Amino acid sequence: MPAKPRLAVVKFASCDGCQLSLLSLEDELLRLAGKIEVAYFLEATSRIEPGPYDVVLVEGSITTADDATRIQQLRRAAKYLITIGACATAGGIQALKNWADSEEYLRAVYARPDYIRTLATSTAIADHVAVDFELRGCPINKHQLLEVLRSLLAGCQPRTPTYSVCVECKRRGSVCVMVAHGTPCLGPVTQAGCGAICPAYDRGCYGCFGPSDQPNLVPLTDHLRSIGMTPEQVVNSLRGFSGYAGEFRRESERLVESIGTIATGVGAAAVEPDVADSSGEWGDGQPGGDPK
């Protein structure tokens, strides 16, 4: 890595939230700016420097033929190509279209679908080019982003955990929402990195960071059904921001196959993961009802 590496931040199909994590590094941003040259970052500056770049942070998934070409060009201009976020790493929430009829979506959403040129799928960057490092999350965790940049500058491997959200949840001292409240949670099979935010606020994990290392999906989805979720709700909860990622995708497809046709196309109800304990209160009695 040169003394002052050249950085590009580029986007494909995405909401820009992960790029903003870079600008959210308030305490470290100025020091970081002294260490790297921002050569391409439209969210921050309209000044555009041509490649090649030492580090390219890629946000977003590939959903158009043009983008499929652009990512190839970008790969050639990048020494290190790092994907940031669920879209770039797993196809994002827009990968729901992979299980649906894209044409039907177009007709449902756009007044003039003939203006839209899109692929039938939303796919991860790694499905198109070699990726040097993937940073998970929706959005990514800014501390993890800083860790990646710091490691690149220091020339060492970034330390990003691959274990479950439960580890962060317990370190934080949060109470398990599934055991204590009966709230469905994907934490046991989801990769840590967010700091276990949702369970700290009594919500189940939505699986934003995608599958953890060697997750055991089947006993968890069996359990979710045993505490009151319908198979359709289990499938929809797996098909969230990282729903098209490896084990999440395979398990939701296994469930769909095991239960036959399932409504996942246009109009399929979004599922709030806390269906078993809708009261969510414990002020004056038994939260979640009688445990027996």
Partner 1 sequence: MAERETKPDPKGKSLPASDDGPGAAGWIAKSDFQSFLDRLVALGYRTIGPTLIQGAIGYDEIRQVDDLPKGWTEHQSAGSYRLVRRDDDAWFGFNLGPHSWKRYLFPPQQTVAKAIKRDDGWQLDDVEDAEPPFAFLGVRACELAAILVQDRVFLNEHHSDPIYRRRRENALLIAVNCTQAAETCFCTSMGTGPRCVVAFDLALTETELGFTVEIGSPRGASVLAGLPIREAAPAECAEAASARQQAEDQISKRLDTTDIRELLLGNLDHPQWDDVAERCLSCTNCTMVCPTCFCHSVEEVSDLDGGQVDRVRQWDSCFNARFSYMNGGLVRGDVRSRYRQWLTHKLAGWIDQFDTSGCVGCGRCITWCPVGIDLTAEVAAIREVPK
What Rg value do the Cα atoms of the chain yield, rounded?
Answer: 20
**Using CB under 8 A, which of 14, 21, 83, 174 touches partner 1?**
174
- Pairwise CA distance, residues 227 & 253, whole Å: 21
| Segment contacting partner 1 by CB under 8 A, of 47-55, 119-127, 217-225, 258-266 | 217-225
Range 112-151, binding partner 1 (CB under 8 A): 146, 150
Closest contact distance (angstroms) between CB of 124 and partner 1 is 22
Closest contact distance (angstroms) between CB of 230 and partner 1 is 19
Range 48-67, binding partner 1 (CB under 8 A): none
* 175 touches partner 1 (CB under 8 A): yes
- Pairwise CA distance, residues 259 & 116, whole Å: 34
**Using CB under 8 A, which of 2, 3, 26, 31 touches partner 1?**
31
Q: Is the Cβ of residue 31 or residue 117 nearer to partner 1 in the bound state?
A: 31
Q: Is the Cβ of residue 115 or residue 201 nearer to partner 1 in the bound state?
A: 201
* 162 touches partner 1 (CB under 8 A): yes
What residue ranges in 108-176 does DSSP mark as E strands? 133-135
DSSP 245-288: SHHHHHHHHHHHHHH-----STTPPP--S--S-SS---SSS-TT
Task: Give the angle 267-16-7 at the CA atoms, nearest 5°.
Answer: 150
**Sheet of 37-41: strands edge to edge?**
37-41, 6-11, 53-59, 78-84, 133-135
Task: Give the angle 143-241-71 at the CA atoms, nearest 5°.
Answer: 80
Q: Is the Cβ of residue 14 or residue 237 nearer to partner 1 in the bound state?
A: 237
- Tell me which residues touch partner 1 (CB under 8 A): 28, 31-32, 35, 146, 150, 153-154, 159, 162-164, 166-167, 170-182, 185, 187-189, 202, 213-216, 218-220, 222-223, 282, 284-292
